Chains A and B, each alone.
Chain A
């Protein structure tokens, strides 16, 4: 399944990643540009969509920088599936970012007759209310990506940070944290998710919050166990002997080791988060104003005679396929990353 291919076809993508590397710190300046779109800027636009996000963007940017540099080196060793995955994700990202450009209608407004089949004017037809499905798909991508990435980054790096700190400090804090992690991971997450979101109300913020609450435990645990094993290395003791402060040790020694693992985890978490959000929306518990793919599924399956009419073909299938496609891309990337990074570090799976 996994084959190594030569690097010849990767020049373009490689230079793109390298370009990403260089201009990360300019994101703040570029955020408000409307003009000619720079390749780098495109990726940073997600930052704009993440206006809702709580994390310091510069901090995240630096982290992205680090990740990208630790990742771009073995990039050419991605297998075919990995390349497909990356390509697919990029397409979806582009779709989300350029939604206003590639769609003719707004997803929120009624722009056609109800349940029009795909045709000229409405590429994928319209739904029950007459809203363009293609634009719903494009704008819906934003939702899935936002939630997925937001949850993944916050819980991945937040959880990772907590795990590192706990592992480094040790003692009661560490023990206590382990208990908390154990219990968190043992909870049946989806039913609780449903219940809590039901009680707290269906806003995007709540959804992100709850998903983070359930996802931070795994990266924390893995980061912790890695930290513990790294702490035993002689070079840490030597550095400490030379008078190194804890921050130095964390920043210089521990973080670079753990970052690659966390990166793989982050992809996994974003997968889960996207599924969870879609599931919630499907059940009718998502933000009704947002046009996420799960919401589209919810509307479509809620339509009384959806299965007895041909409407499902253009109303139900697109969001379904988009979701599956996105998830498969993420999965390919994740497996490939694991494969690439694995011989270099022994990924300890928790405990």
Chain B
């Protein structure tokens, strides 16, 4: 068990390192000066023209005129001090741009995690309890079919059905633009109204995973001897299920929930773009399209760090929950 944790920390740190290195090297791998080629290939994209002054700033920031190791050192130094550079497009410090958009992403990712975990566990438990019945097989089939549709396509479908066809939900944004609120409740409701579909999409994409995991683990656990012992003690079905069965079956689910954030990072970028939701996913896209390198690197870094933090948290929590793991 100790071995596992050591390699786990190693894995997390090396992932971070790899991303940092990629972050560092990518712009430098472009032929020529990355900042003179800002052509746009797509129809309807803006062409960004930099002034000489901006150009000089970036050359300086990236240290393109200095030897490689010095560049890397200054890069690391900048990171430590939280200086992520300046966004070309927004003309603001990258960290500011990120702070503007990150909360929205956090909102939908966290909500989706919570919702999918809770519903997945509930449905999985019900499914495990009723596994012989026909209704369960229908549920399983439906779930599995759901899982195969990628999140952004699912989002598109939901968007088309609920926002376009039925006009129940908004088409874009996190809040209604130029809205006047009569109080905090109104504001919260508005936010929820806009966040509903993205959260639903993200939740659905993760739901099956949690559901299947809960169901299968629970089924395995119920065959274990200690469940029989608990029943023999006359503790009652509810007690047996919750205190003994779930308590053991939920351990892998907890792990998965922690990692879910990482898994969702891939989907959230696309989902935000489908719903035009102004989180860092959308920001990343516009940054990529507009070749806003500092911003791209900043967002990538934020994603990597957040995944790392989640992994570490999961590790800590799991250690508390399972006494067999040596802490």
Q: Do A and B bind each other?
A: yes
**What residues of chain A have their CB less than 8 Å away from a CB belonging to chain B?**
1, 179, 182-183, 186-192, 194-196, 198-200, 202, 271, 275, 278-279, 282-285, 288, 297, 299, 301-302, 307, 312, 316-317, 320, 323-324, 327-328, 331, 335
Closest CB in chain A relative to B85 CB, distance in Å: 15
Q: Is B296 on the interface with A (CB-CB < 8 A)?
A: yes
A residues within 8 A CB of B15? 183, 186-187
Q: How many A-B residue pairs have CB under 8 A?
A: 119
Q: Is A191 touching B266 in the complex (CB atoms < 8 A)?
A: yes
Q: Is A324 touching B153 in the complex (CB atoms < 8 A)?
A: yes
How far is A187 from B304 in the complex, measured between Cα atoms in Å? 8
Q: Is B109 on the interface with A (CB-CB < 8 A)?
A: no
A residues within 8 A CB of B42? 284, 288
Which of B53-61, B155-163, B228-236, B248-256 is near enough to bind chain A?
A: B155-163
Q: A183-B11, A279-B270, A284-B289 in contact; A192/B22 too (CB < 8 A)?
A: yes
B71-101 CB mask vs A (1 if < 8 Å, else 0) is 0000000000000000000000000000000
Which residue from B19, B163, B274, B291 sits with its C-beta under 8 Å from A198? B291
B residues within 8 A CB of A200? 29
Q: Give 19 CB contacts A-B under 8 Å.
A: A179-B10, A186-B11, A186-B12, A187-B18, A188-B262, A188-B265, A191-B265, A191-B299, A191-B303, A194-B288, A196-B22, A199-B29, A307-B163, A320-B157, A323-B153, A327-B149, A327-B150, A328-B145, A335-B144
Closest 5 CB pairs of A and B: A190-B266, A331-B148, A198-B288, A186-B15, A275-B150
B299, closest chain A residue (CB): A191
Per DSSP, are chain A's interface residues mostly helix, strand or loop, or mixed?
Answer: helix
How far is A186 from B152 in the complex, measured between Cα atoms in Å? 22
How far is A182 from B29 in the complex, measured between Cα atoms in Å? 25
A1, closest chain B residue (CB): B141
Which residue from B10, B44, B150, B285 sits with its C-beta under 8 Å from A283? B285
Q: Is A285 touching B288 in the complex (CB atoms < 8 A)?
A: yes
B residues within 8 A CB of A275? 150
Q: Is A188 touching B266 in the complex (CB atoms < 8 A)?
A: yes
Within 8 A of A (CB), among B15-53: 15, 18-19, 22, 26-27, 29-30, 41-45
B125-148 CB mask vs A (1 if < 8 Å, else 0) is 000000000000100110011001
The count of chain B contact residues (Cβ–Cβ below 8 Å) is: 53
Q: Is B210 on the interface with A (CB-CB < 8 A)?
A: no
Which residue from B10, B137, B156 sits with its C-beta under 8 Å from A297? B156
Q: A187-B15, A188-B304 in contact; A199/B145 too (CB < 8 A)?
A: no
Q: A183-B14, A279-B152 in contact; A312/B164 too (CB < 8 A)?
A: yes
How far is A146 from B173 in the complex, measured between Cα atoms in Å? 36
B residues within 8 A CB of A299? 43
Q: Is A302 touching B163 in the complex (CB atoms < 8 A)?
A: no
Closest CB in chain B relative to A164 CB, distance in Å: 22
Q: A198-B288, A288-B42 in contact; A1/B137 too (CB < 8 A)?
A: yes
Q: Is A198 touching B296 in the complex (CB atoms < 8 A)?
A: yes
Q: Give the one of B22, B140, B144, B270 with max A CB within 10 A.
A: B270
A299, closest chain B residue (CB): B43
How far is A194 from B299 in the complex, measured between Cα atoms in Å? 12
Q: Is B192 on the interface with A (CB-CB < 8 A)?
A: no
B243-268 CB mask vs A (1 if < 8 Å, else 0) is 00000000000000000001001110
Within 8 A of A (CB), among B163-178: 163-164, 171
Q: Is B300 on the interface with A (CB-CB < 8 A)?
A: yes
Within 8 A of A (CB), among B258-307: 262, 265-267, 269-270, 273-274, 284-285, 288-289, 291, 296, 299-300, 303-304, 307
B residues within 8 A CB of A194? 269, 284-285, 288
B residues within 8 A CB of A190? 265-267, 269-270
